[in-house]
């Protein structure tokens, strides 16, 4: 199996090279035969690359310790789910998974490339295959996971996976992130391919936007899953620590979000072409930069892999991407000239541009925070770090302004909006937001940031409701439908718009949850003996017992804590936090006990036991509205799926437009 999987890897590398070269040849010679060669090679590359990933998975499930990577990250006592997730538990396997997913994304692109604009698609396939070729080159020649152990005997057991990664969410979180990262290569291929082909049609823009939406939804889900893993596994009561590697996934999310907004201006008005090109390039480049961060060892993180000597490979590729795109964009600058200019600051075009500037400001501040220790060490020979307070202080106000812009932007008219229209559209939402803020102050919430965020969120919800009401009212005019029936018909007709509004509603829910869990959090440390109780917030915690035990892969210390209401009369369940010790890894982890609720999360951590074995130490966190963060992310995901639903009434028209355009260009 090891030889077969390695053979598939090398065959995938040859097929990616074939796809890249034949795509270039097809574009230059306009040859149908070479185009089909590129297409078929790309599809086969996706197949054999995933066979290579599957082969590595089979080696883990078979406990084949002749393979060095399997021996290093698995052992016989691990559950099968953790043996599968061990594929991406280390540097070599994670790069193979990355390359495999990228090859499959490119294969899907090739499968769908039965398109009348063959020169465009030839260049797109060539650029996409160049990305696949780079990552397969890294895997095949630098981080090959199919190296055999050079020893006279086969080890009877392996080292095992990092205990922190032995969590069900780690079976989902990295693949989702990689799906997001790698899929961003496709919009990049469309943009660069269109410039190389000199294509001015709007069709490739729509395709690039669709692929960006797919990448965005995967990356969003991966980030949220990672936050939930950190919340459950690391035991510090939070979900986002502005860790350098966390930030490396957040940076392309910000630029990708900016592109999804500003590309609408390009589709409708033919503006911001150069701007959008570089947003796409920046997004893809930041995914490569994130790979460099996690694998170069220049930053320290619980998420990072061990330090390696291949960081220069990613920096070289990153430089090639930027320089090549710069040359192509200069050569094709006539294609990127805007067809119109922004006519008024009170317009949707200007609002989307403001949205972009805010997102890029957050991106720059985050990038600076990540790289500041590196820059400071290079200049002063002393590493200086920035922490959570820096990111919160800089990005917090920017996020609040971004929320406000998010509420205003979709409701402003294209081209120009009069002050009278603004007053009519925003008086009620603004009044509702102000009254909500005043009610919160009257209710005892005195933190200015919290009141501001909640008031802005109330403004956004009111603006969305008012926009829906105006649409339903217009739909009812001239029809006999009731309000509910007209609302359903109106939303079905304009489901893409309201899918976007649903995403914005999800962002509002996330913003409220994040603000509540950060600003109103209760944190306390205490120690109890069996039978003793303590009151924390609205809860009474009673220690029933502490016991030791052993499972196949670890030993544990477990406390049993009864949870009651503060009065002590209402039982709310039992929490069992653990401390786990993994003998093979010589590592100790905390297993959080969590009581989730719509109002708050009760988050209990067992810190240790005294030498006499009678006094147990705990940390407890009460995180208000924490569960709504995960609900908000789900709403964002559903909204994005709605936007991605096929628009049947436009498919035939676009296909016909493509055929006519090809006939004219011929």
Mean per-residue pLDDT over the chain, rounded: 88
Is the model's pLDDT at 346 over the cut of 90?
A: no
For 288-324, letters b (16+ CB in 10 Å) and e give: bbbbbbbbbebbebebbbeeeebbebbeebbeebeee
What is the rounded average pLDDT of the residues 601-628?
A: 92
Decide if 288 contacts 319 (C-beta within 8 A). no
The confidence band for 118, taking pLDDT boundaries of 50, 70 and 90, is confident
> In terms of DSSP H, where are the helices of 234-272?
244-269
pLDDT tens, residue by residue, 82-94: 999 999 988 899 9
DSSP 274-322: HHHHHHHHHHHHHHHHHHHHHHH-SS--TTPPPP-S-HHHHHHHHHHHH
The confidence band for 662, taking pLDDT boundaries of 50, 70 and 90, is very low
Three-state DSSP at 587 gives strand
What values do phi and psi take at 4, rounded to 5? Answer: -65, -45
- In which region does residue 547 sit, left (phi positive, over 0), alpha (psi from -120 to 50) or beta (all else)? beta
What pLDDT sits at residue 332?
A: 86
What pLDDT sits at residue 664?
A: 36
Is the model's pLDDT at 391 over the cut of 70?
A: yes
DSSP 342: -
Q: Which two tokens stand for residue 443?
A: 């209710």
Is the model's pLDDT at 246 over the cut of 70?
A: yes
Decide if 35 contacts 121 (C-beta within 8 A). yes
**CA–CA separation, 190 and 106 (whole Å):** 11
The confidence band for 305, taking pLDDT boundaries of 50, 70 and 90, is low
Tell me how many degrees the CA angle 77-80-81 measures, rounded to the nearest 5: 125
Please report, for residues 18, 412, 424, 468, the alpha-carbon distance to residue 419 in angstroms, rounded to integers and kept in the order given: 58, 11, 9, 21
Decide if 8 contacts 14 (C-beta within 8 A). no
pTM exceeds 0.75: yes
What is the rounded average pLDDT of the residues 369-373?
A: 87
Three-state DSSP at 40 gives helix
What pLDDT sits at residue 425?
A: 81
pLDDT tens, residue by residue, 249-291: 999 999 999 999 999 888 888 888 899 999 999 999 999 998 8
Sign of CA dihedral 249, 255, 258, 259: negative
Residues recorded for the chain: 666
Is the model's pLDDT at 297 over the cut of 70?
A: no
Three-state DSSP at 457 gives helix
Share of the chain above pLDDT 90, in %: 54
What is the rounded average pLDDT of the residues 429-447?
A: 90
pLDDT tens, residue by residue, 54-107: 999 999 999 989 999 999 999 888 888 999 999 998 889 999 999 999 999 999
HSE on the CB side for 188, CA within 13 Å? Answer: 31
């Amino acid at each position: 199996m090891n030889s077969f999987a390695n053979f598939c890897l090398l065959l995938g590398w040859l097929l990616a090279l074939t796809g890249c070269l034949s795509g270039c040849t097809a574009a230059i010679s306009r040859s149908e035969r070479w185009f089909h060669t590129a297409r078929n090679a790309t599809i086969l590359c996706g197949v054999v690359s995933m066979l290579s990933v599957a082969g590595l998975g089979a080696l883990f499930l078979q406990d084949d310790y002749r393979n060095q990577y399997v021996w290093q990250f698995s052992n016989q006592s691990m559950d099968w789910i953790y043996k599968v997730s061990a594929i991406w538990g280390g540097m070599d396997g994670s790069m193979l998974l990355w390359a495999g997913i990228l090859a499959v994304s490119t294969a899907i692109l090739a499968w769908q490339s039965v398109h009348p604009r063959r020169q465009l698609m030839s260049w797109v396939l060539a650029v996409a295959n160049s990305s696949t070729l780079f990552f397969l080159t890294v895997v095949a020649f630098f981080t090959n996971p199919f190296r055999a152990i050079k020893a006279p005997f086969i080890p009877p057991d392996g080292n095992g996976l990092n205990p922190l990664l032995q969590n069900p969410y780690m079976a989902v979180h990295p693949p989702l992130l990689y799906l997001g990262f790698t899929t961003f290569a496709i919009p990049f291929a469309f943009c660069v391919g269109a410039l190389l082909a000199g294509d001015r049609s709007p069709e490739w823009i729509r395709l690039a936007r669709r692929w960006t939406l797919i990448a965005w939804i995967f990356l969003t889900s991966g980030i949220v899953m990672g936050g939930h893993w950190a919340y459950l596994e690391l035991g510090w009561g939070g979900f986002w620590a502005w860790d350098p590697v966390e930030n490396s996934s957040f940076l392309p999310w910000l630029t990708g979000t900016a592109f999804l907004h500003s590309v609408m201006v390009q589709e409708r008005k033919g503006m911001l072409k150069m701007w959008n090109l570089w947003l796409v390039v920046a997004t893809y480049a930041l995914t490569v930069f994130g790979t460099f961060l996690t694998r170069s060892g220049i930053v320290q993180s619980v998420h990072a892999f061990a330090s390696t000597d291949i960081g220069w490979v990613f920096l070289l590729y990153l430089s090639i991407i930027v320089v090549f795109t710069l040359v192509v964009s200069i050569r094709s600058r006539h294609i990127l000239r805007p067809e119109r200019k922004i006519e008024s600051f009170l317009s949707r075009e200007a609002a989307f541009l403001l949205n972009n500037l805010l997102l890029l400001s957050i991106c720059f501040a985050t990038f600076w925070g990540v790289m500041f220790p590196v820059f400071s060490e290079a200049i002063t020979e002393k590493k200086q770090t920035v922490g959570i307070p820096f990111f919160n202080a800089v990005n917090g106000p920017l996020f609040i302004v971004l929320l406000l812009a998010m509420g205003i932007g979709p409701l402003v008219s294209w081209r120009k909006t009069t002050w009278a229209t603004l007053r009519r559209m925003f008086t009620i939402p603004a009044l509702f937001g102000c009254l909500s803020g005043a009610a919160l102050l009257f209710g005892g919430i005195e933190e200015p940031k919290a009141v501001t965020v909640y008031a802005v969120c109330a403004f956004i919800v009111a603006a969305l409701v008012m926009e829906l009401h105006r649409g339903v009212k217009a739909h009812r005019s001239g029809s006999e439908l009731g309000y509910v029936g007209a609302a359903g018909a109106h939303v079905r007709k304009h489901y893409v718009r309201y899918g976007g509004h649903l995403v914005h509603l999800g962002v509002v829910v996330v913003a409220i949850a994040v603000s509540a869990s950060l600003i109103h959090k209760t944190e306390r440390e205490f120690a109890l003996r069996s039978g003793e109780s303590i009151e924390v917030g609205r809860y009474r915690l009673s220690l029933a017992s502490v016991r030791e035990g052993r499972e196949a892969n670890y030993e544990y210390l477990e406390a049993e804590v009864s949870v009651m209401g503060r009065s002590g009369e209402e039982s709310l369940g039992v929490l069992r936090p653990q401390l786990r010790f993994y003998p093979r890894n010589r590592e100790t982890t905390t297993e959080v006990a969590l009581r989730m609720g719509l109002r708050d999360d009760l988050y209990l951590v067992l810190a240790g036991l005294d030498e006499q074995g009678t006094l147990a130490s705990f940390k407890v966190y009460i995180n208000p509205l924490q569960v709504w963060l995960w609900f908000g992310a789900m709403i964002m995901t559903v909204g994005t799926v709605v936007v991605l639903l096929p628009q049947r009434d436009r498919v035939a028209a676009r296909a016909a437009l493509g055929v006519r355009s090809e006939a004219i260009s011929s």
